[in-house]
Amino acid sequence: MNAALLAASRISALVLAVAVAVHLVVIIYAVQEGLTAASLLSRTRGNWAFLALYASFVLAAAVHAPIGLRAVLAEWLGWSGRLADRLLIGFGLLLVLLGLRAAFAVFLA
Amino acid sequence: MAMLELEIWRGGATGRFHTYRIPMRESQTVLDAVSEVQRTEDPTLSYRFACRVGMCGSCAMMVNGRPRWTCRTRVAVSAPNGKLLLAPLRHLPVVKDLVVDMEPFFAKWQRAHGRFEPGAAPAADFAVVPPATPGRRAADAGIECIGCGICYAACDVVGWNPDYLGPAALNRAWTLLNDVRDRAAAERLAAVTAGGGCQACHSHMACTEACPKGIAPTYAIAGLKRQAIRAALRSALGAPP
């Protein structure tokens, strides 16, 4: 891992810390209030703040997770190099695709 | 008289533990016990020591799975059940028995630019370094390292990633980065952020827990990480280093 990846890892971790905290609060609120799927969707539909939060959550996770996995692969399996990096970039893009799809699904619902 | 049972590694990279029994004595250190084994049981046993008072660090080895200075480790504390398992320091090539080759350890100090660089032109005058300045304090925190290799043996990341510079070399680099007289900060920062540099540290703090000098290499490495991130951001923003 070079310094740029370290910086990306730390900055994405900062975003994740906020996003995970808000996410947990949202979950606890939804459960405590007994919100139905319909009432949840009525809150998320067209909600730009919600979309911005979860889009940044997804992007931060897509940056953070492959960097961490890169170290795990190298240290535990001894696997590193260009192929591993390309697969990890692919994994990050997959997270972006799946995450944004989910965020847009409840935004556009 | 109560007896102490020692299982001691014999051989090189391959070998096995041999069992020895010697009398347990009052205020006996692990180094005393090893010396007694060599003198009374097996004169071919190889181990290192020099000062016997915790100054040189050469007697470091694995004692019941933990890296320790054997001269400063009392048998009564480390082997309350009367059994000691002694092995050479982890992560270093074994020369023979309890003696390891420290060359890879010090080669990494060199790779981390762990040496003072006065620059091409000698300083015109003495540098004034007030003790209370942040740089001096940061350097002070790690300056007492004697290079015994305890932290290197304690660090799991060194075992997982043989390219990793290790706590001692990075701690030394950090003290030098905080030395106002040094003229190689940019090269040193580049050296400690290349592959196997400070960013490989997982902050387990095993080094800090094990250091017999009470030094906290983890904090030194955290300092290096902060500087590395700042340098990376400046570089990304096109700002001067």
pLDDT per residue over B201-226, tens digit each? 999 999 999 999 999 999 999 999 99
pLDDT (0 to 100) of residue B240? 64
Judge if B13 and B63 occupy the same domain: yes
Judge if B87 and B149 occupy the same domain: no
- From B156's Cα to the closest Cα of chain A, the distance in A is 10
Judge if B118 and B87 occupy the same domain: no
pLDDT (0 to 100) of residue B23? 96
- From B161's Cα to the closest Cα of chain A, the distance in A is 6
Identify which of B161, B194, B232 has the shortest CB distance to residue A7.
Answer: B232
pLDDT (0 to 100) of residue A77? 92
For residues B149 and B172, the answer to whether their CB atoms sit within 8 Å is: no
Judge if B24 and B69 occupy the same domain: yes
Judge if B131 and B171 occupy the same domain: yes
- In this prediction, residues A62-70 reach a mean pLDDT of 96
B216: helix, strand or coil: coil
Residue-range definition of the domain harbouring residue B46? 3-100
Identify which of A3, A75, A76 has the shortest CB distance to residue B199.
Answer: A3
* Boundary (domain end) residue, out of B80, B100, B120: B100
Query: Taking Cα atoms as reference points, which of B158, B171, B157, B146 lies closest to residue B54?
Result: B146
Reported ipTM: 0.76
pLDDT (0 to 100) of residue B235? 83
User: CA–CA distance from A100 to each of A61, A67, A89, B73 (Å)?
Assistant: 11, 20, 16, 57
Q: Give percent above pLDDT 70 in chain B.
A: 99
Check residue B144 and report its DSSP letter: T
Judge if B126 and B215 occupy the same domain: yes
Query: Taking Cα atoms as reference points, which of B195, B198, B107 lies closest to residue B155?
Result: B198
Q: Which residues contact B44 (CB under 8 A, 6 or more apart)?
A: none
pLDDT band at B232 (very low <50, low <70, confident <90, very high): confident
- In this prediction, residues B92-107 reach a mean pLDDT of 98
Judge if B156 and B142 occupy the same domain: yes
Average pLDDT, chain B: 95
What is the Cα–Cα distance from B154 to B150, expressed in whole angstroms? 6
pLDDT band at B121 (very low <50, low <70, confident <90, very high): confident
Judge if B77 and B186 occupy the same domain: no
What is the CATH number for B113? 1.10.1060.10
pLDDT (0 to 100) of residue A1? 61
User: Is B91 within 8 Å of chain A by CB?
Assistant: no
pLDDT band at B238 (very low <50, low <70, confident <90, very high): confident
Q: Give percent above pLDDT 70 in chain A.
A: 99
Q: Give percent above pLDDT 90 in chain B.
A: 90
Judge if B95 and B145 occupy the same domain: no
Identify which of B160, B225, B236 has the shortest CB distance to residue A75.
Answer: B160
**Does residue B172 register a pLDDT over 70?**
yes
Task: Please name the residue of chain A whose CA is at the shortest distance from the CA of residue B163.
Answer: A75
- In this prediction, residues B51-72 reach a mean pLDDT of 97
Judge if B117 and B226 occupy the same domain: yes
- In this prediction, residues B151-169 reach a mean pLDDT of 96
pLDDT (0 to 100) of residue B186? 92
**Does residue A102 register a pLDDT over 70?**
yes
- From B231's Cα to the closest Cα of chain A, the distance in A is 8
Query: How many domains does the structure of chain B reveal?
Result: 2
Say whether A74 and B229 touch across the interface (CB within 8 A). Answer: no
pLDDT band at B191 (very low <50, low <70, confident <90, very high): very high
pLDDT (0 to 100) of residue B241? 58
Judge if B31 and B111 occupy the same domain: no
pLDDT (0 to 100) of residue B236? 78
For residues B216 and B141, the answer to whether their CB atoms sit within 8 Å is: yes
Say whether A6 and B194 touch across the interface (CB within 8 A). Answer: no
What is the CATH number for B92? 3.10.20.30
pLDDT (0 to 100) of residue B76? 92
Judge if B211 and B224 occupy the same domain: yes
